[in-house]
Chains A and B, each alone.
Chain A
């Protein structure tokens, strides 16, 4: 019943690889940028706080598909040179996902009480030692479930890159479908593939959530 899938298996898997690559690049850029965005969102310096906050509010209130379109079709008009779909998609995703990761990091930093940090300082630890041994480890444990969940969302979001012709899994399935006319099995296969990956991810996230809850770190 998956005959069309089997005939084009390596072509489809190549698409999945591109999906993974795009998601990996989006996370590799989006998480570090998100760490900075999170710091910007708790900054007391208004020259940092306001620009970062406007950026976050702006991006979070427009659909991702527009961000992808905008980068791909409008950037070349402004810069005067065309841009490949893959780097264009990577930039869009980093810019978009960093706002979501930024809010997760902001919440993580803010969950640590001022007096806990004071307690560390009171023993003579420096600022950087306190960040390294206290703030970041605690924030990271608390944020782990949200980080995993957002990473899964990022992976699902990558399918939107098909709108600029990036040959990722969904795009390749539709190319095969044009030749084979097997929509149900092809897109069924795509759905199952995404489901397995994302379900596994959400199980891992659940596991961490449980672990954190048990250790009473939340």
Chain B
């Protein structure tokens, strides 16, 4: 369970998160949407301690993120993260990208880590790309390697930050299919995405974020059929064209 309690964050004078209170329960898939600049990425980065925040608390699996006594490195092992621009290590092959953390952090042997990595590459559908460098992979393939890299730590939670918005349209589905499988297997996921097909298929709930606030929270039906606020109505009409 991810508990976000009264979280506020400022960049200088600019308040990027305004008193956020949300709970993501075990095995839930929650989609976060909202206009660019509304603070979605910042919220995700606060959850695994990549960004500090000034007020409130975030508790992941019973462990408080913003507690100086928390071993944040240990906590991050349980929280996988996938980025908009993949962020694969350019000097390593797909296999090396996936095995680095299991070897260095979990202290797996190289052989164990590679077996685990190959299983994951099969799961995301590109075992034949194991020895390719990121530069030789398409965007969709790179993002699938990035998902495999996160899964190699066997996390309990996954954070996705617009995983398909840097992809060409024909590659979006191959990445979403992997995410849909994960959601159906019961991974606890928080996904920033505007892919409403994905939201309809697997999201338990949708959060709508605007100007640093969670403005609406509801199921797919509730959010799209009966948006309560003008801002949400506006946003929906924009993403549905």
Within 8 A of A (CB), among B134-188: 134-136, 146, 149-150, 152-153, 159
Please determine whether A217 and B48 come into contact, CB atoms closer than 8 angstroms.
Answer: no
Residues of A within 8 A of B146 (CB): 119
**A133-B104, A215-B135 known; A121+B76 contact, CB < 8 A:** yes
Partner of B91, one of A113, A123, A125, A217: A217
Please determine whether A124 and B74 come into contact, CB atoms closer than 8 angstroms.
Answer: yes
Residues of A within 8 A of B80 (CB): 122-123
Residues of A within 8 A of B83 (CB): 115, 118-119
Q: Which range contains the number of A residues in contact with the other chain?
A: 20 to 34
CA distance A64 to B88 in the complex (A): 42
- What's the least CB distance linking A49 to chain B, in Å? 18
**From DSSP, what is the main secondary structure of chain A's interface residues?**
helix
Residues of A within 8 A of B91 (CB): 137-138, 141, 215, 217
**A119-B81, A123-B149, A124-B101 known; A215+B133 contact, CB < 8 A:** yes
Please determine whether B150 and A123 come into contact, CB atoms closer than 8 angstroms.
Answer: yes
Q: Decide if B115 is an interface residue (CB 8 Å cutoff).
A: no
Q: How many A-B residue pairs have CB under 8 A?
A: 77
**A116-B87, A133-B104, A138-B90 known; A122+B76 contact, CB < 8 A:** yes
Q: Decide if B23 is an interface residue (CB 8 Å cutoff).
A: no
- What's the least CB distance linking B39 to chain A, in Å? 16
Q: Decide if A8 is an interface residue (CB 8 Å cutoff).
A: no
- What's the least CB distance linking B218 to chain A, in Å? 29
Q: Decide if B239 is an interface residue (CB 8 Å cutoff).
A: no
- What's the least CB distance linking A152 to chain B, in Å? 25
Within 8 A of A (CB), among B80-94: 80-81, 83, 85, 87-91
Q: Which residue of A lies closest to B135 (CB)?
A: A216
**A122-B50, A123-B76, A125-B105 known; A216+B149 contact, CB < 8 A:** no
Please determine whether A123 and B153 come into contact, CB atoms closer than 8 angstroms.
Answer: yes
CA distance A96 to B83 in the complex (A): 41
CA distance A119 to B74 in the complex (A): 15
- What's the least CB distance linking A33 to chain B, in Å? 26
CA distance A129 to B105 in the complex (A): 9
Q: A122-B50, A216-B135 are in contact. List 6 more A-B contacts (CB 8 A).
A: A116-B87, A124-B74, A125-B101, A126-B73, A215-B90, A216-B134
Interface residues, chain B, with chain A CB atoms under 8 Å away: 45, 48, 50, 73-74, 76-77, 79-81, 83, 85, 87-91, 100-101, 104-105, 133-136, 146, 149-150, 152-153, 159
